[in-house]
Amino acid sequence: MNSVLILLIGVIAIIVGYGVYAKSIDRKVLNPDPNRATPAKMFMDGVDFTPANRNVLFGYQFKSIAALGPILGPIIAVQWGWLPAIAWIILGTFFIGWVQDYASIIMGVREEGQSFGALSYRLVSPRSRGILITFIYFYLWLIMGAFGVQVGFNLLTNPAVPLGVILVILFGVLAGQMTYKWKQDIILTSIVTVVLSFLGIWVGTLQPVQNFFAWLYGTAGGATSPTLFLAVTQAKFIGSLLVVIICYFGAVLPIWRWAQPINYVAFWIVTLGVLGGVLGLLIWRPGMGDFPAFTGFNVAGLGPLWPILFVTIACGAISGWHSLVSSSGTARQLEKETDAIYVGGGAMFLEMFFATLAFLTATVAFGSYQGYLDAGGGARAAAVFSNGLATFMSQWGLSKTFGVAYGSVFLTLMALTIMYLVVRFMRVASAEALGDRFPALKNVHVGTIVALVLTLVLIWLVPFLQIWVVFGAANQLMASLALLLITLWLISKGKNYLWALYPFIFMYVTTIGALLYKAYEAFILNLPKAAALAEKQKLTVGQVTIANVIIGAVSLILVVAALILAWDAYKAFQRYRAEAAAHA
């Protein structure tokens, strides 16, 4: 299969899915009215409720939904073969993804911009809001673990990468100083800091710099980095410490001093990287070589295709995360109801295209399945992406070494922007929940360090693929909740609800299946054989035990949350049906 053909199939899916199916639902079922006042107009406060041009809002929606999820998920999922992965990306978006994003916006608009928590409280039951918050806490912890492993273990351990990351961060800080303190022209600031960042990435790839980091990591002369404890090598230890140190500054320094200007410089690095990758792909137009269409139903380290594939690729096909963005954010800024399909549906189909590009970095960039595995496979998805992107960019002449470092800095910065703020959130949450009992947690530095230590526990103890699948399942549980709310809302309004009900049933059953499988795998399959697994994976028995207890327990907690939610929803469903019958 040629990469251009895959892109063509993606374009056809967008034309038919967005142009025909989505627009027909929009026209025939929800009938948006361009003259009806939206919450953005009704409650305009210039902060949350602000009418925005549909193109601006499209950008906001896309920026909010497209982070590392659509990049890493497809790269991990191709381990079942390229066909199941691309089929789920396209069909998931076609039948479910846009449904959730678009309907969440319309529901938010018609319910006066109420947040998801408030809607679940009203449409399902009061306790569903608590379930949502429980989910969020686990979700954040899993985000820190998943991103932390990829950045600390897989990206920063390449000796050509750390100095580039450090220099780009310093030039980001310089951008903040130039903007807010020295009041320099923004265009000049952008040119100076972005050019310096490119130079910084290049300097990081110079041989003396690489030699220094190789010495620091204990990998000089091609040696294997020595293991310090558990399965943590010297390189991984330094990489993960670098992550928490950067996150510490991001979480305690003023936003203008660190997170905001670094994010601004990163925006240019990411945008230019994507453009460079697409250009290289179009020049090269490679095929998939011997990359298998289907490798088998069970994949070691991940599990069975159903249900695990459907939680491994979340963003890029369907992601519960988007429903939060759509209902709480976009719905409050929509100028006209008729913009919802363009913003919600359109951004989802564009994200499908983005996921397809990530899928291609894994399937075509290395020329073979073995090449993909040699680049790191699913467990080192971030490294696969940076290598794949570098291969694409090398087609128009960019050096491969620089390209790999560039791709690694690109992903590291994307991950860190989210991680700073997640740490801030964990700090505020722990101060509120436990601050009265442990006053030290109210201290900014103590709260931050506690959050970072918890992150290190996950990074050092639990294998990435385990974290990723449970993280994906938590995300899809959110999607199930969103589709459930949409279905109940449609019923309560007397509208056709089957187009949301069937996706809800599929996502709910799949998510429960995935979580039960992970709990079964952790407690029944893995724990009794902890010693054998530890020997096979070169880990300690204690590490295997703790990792499986964490994964199994989180999975079970999420299953219980989902079952309570389903029971409450069933009662709400009956109530709305009875009300509808009474009105008929």
Partner 1 sequence: MRPVEIDVFSPLPEAWGLCSSCELLFQPANLNPAPFDAALEAYPPEFVAEYQRLSQTIRLLSERFGAQVVIRIWDPRSPQGLLRALRYRLRRYPSFVIAGKYKVAGLEPGQVQQMVQKALEAQLSPLEGER
Residues that bind partner 1 (CB under 8 A): 55-56, 59-60, 63-65, 67, 115-117, 129, 132-133, 136, 139-140, 179-181, 183, 185-187, 190, 254-257, 259-260, 263-264, 321, 324-325, 328-329, 417-418, 421-422, 424-425, 427-429, 432
> Considering beta carbons, is residue 330 or 361 the nearer one to partner 1?
330
> Considering beta carbons, is residue 193 or 205 the nearer one to partner 1?
193
> Which parts of 253-297 fold into alpha helices (H)?
259-284
| Kind and range of the H or E run holding 47 | none
Contact 119, 339 (CB under 8 A): no
Q: How far is CA 445 from CA 147, 236, 260, 453, in A?
A: 22, 24, 20, 12
Least distance CB 395 / partner 1 (angstroms): 26
> Considering beta carbons, is residue 55 or 370 the nearer one to partner 1?
55
- DSSP-assigned letters across all residues of 108-135: HHHTTT--HHHHHHHHT-HHHHHHHHHH
The CA distance from 214 to 281, in Å, is 32
Name the 3-class secondary structure at 335.
Answer: coil
Helix, strand, coil in percent for the chain, rounding step 5: 80, 0, 20
Instruction: Name the packing angle between helices 69-77 and 346-363 (round to 10°).
Output: 50
> Considering beta carbons, is residue 23 or 442 the nearer one to partner 1?
442
> Considering beta carbons, is residue 324 or 364 the nearer one to partner 1?
324
> Considering beta carbons, is residue 46 or 222 the nearer one to partner 1?
46
> Considering beta carbons, is residue 200 or 320 the nearer one to partner 1?
320
Going by C-alpha positions, the residue among 550, 531, 387, 538 that lies closest to residue 461 is 550
Q: Say if strands 298-299 and 227-229 run parallel, antiparallel, or are unpaired.
A: unpaired
Going by C-alpha positions, the residue among 546, 2, 38 that lies closest to residue 334 is 38
Least distance CB 404 / partner 1 (angstroms): 26
> Considering beta carbons, is residue 7 or 119 the nearer one to partner 1?
119
> Which parts of 462-540 fold into alpha helices (H)?
464-492, 498-520, 530-537
Least distance CB 511 / partner 1 (angstroms): 19
Least distance CB 255 / partner 1 (angstroms): 5
Least distance CB 422 / partner 1 (angstroms): 7
Contact 473, 311 (CB under 8 A): yes
Residue identified by tokens 């997640």 is: 422
Least distance CB 2 / partner 1 (angstroms): 32
Contact 250, 451 (CB under 8 A): no
Least distance CB 141 / partner 1 (angstroms): 12
> Considering beta carbons, is residue 1 or 136 the nearer one to partner 1?
136
Q: CA 253 from chain center: how many Å? A: 25
The CA distance from 260 to 207, in Å, is 32
Least distance CB 364 / partner 1 (angstroms): 29
Name the 3-class secondary structure at 292.
Answer: coil
- DSSP-assigned letters across all residues of 449-462: HHHHHHHHHHHHHS
> Considering beta carbons, is residue 132 or 389 the nearer one to partner 1?
132
Least distance CB 393 / partner 1 (angstroms): 22
Least distance CB 300 / partner 1 (angstroms): 32
> Which parts of 367-463 fold into alpha helices (H)?
369-374, 381-394, 400-434, 444-461
Least distance CB 307 / partner 1 (angstroms): 24
Instruction: Name the packing angle between helices 444-461 and 234-252 (round to 10°).
Output: 150
> Considering beta carbons, is residue 63 or 577 the nearer one to partner 1?
63
Q: Answer left, alpha or beta for residue 220, where phi above 0 means left and psi between -120 and 50 means alpha.
A: beta
> Considering beta carbons, is residue 59 or 301 the nearer one to partner 1?
59
Least distance CB 310 / partner 1 (angstroms): 22
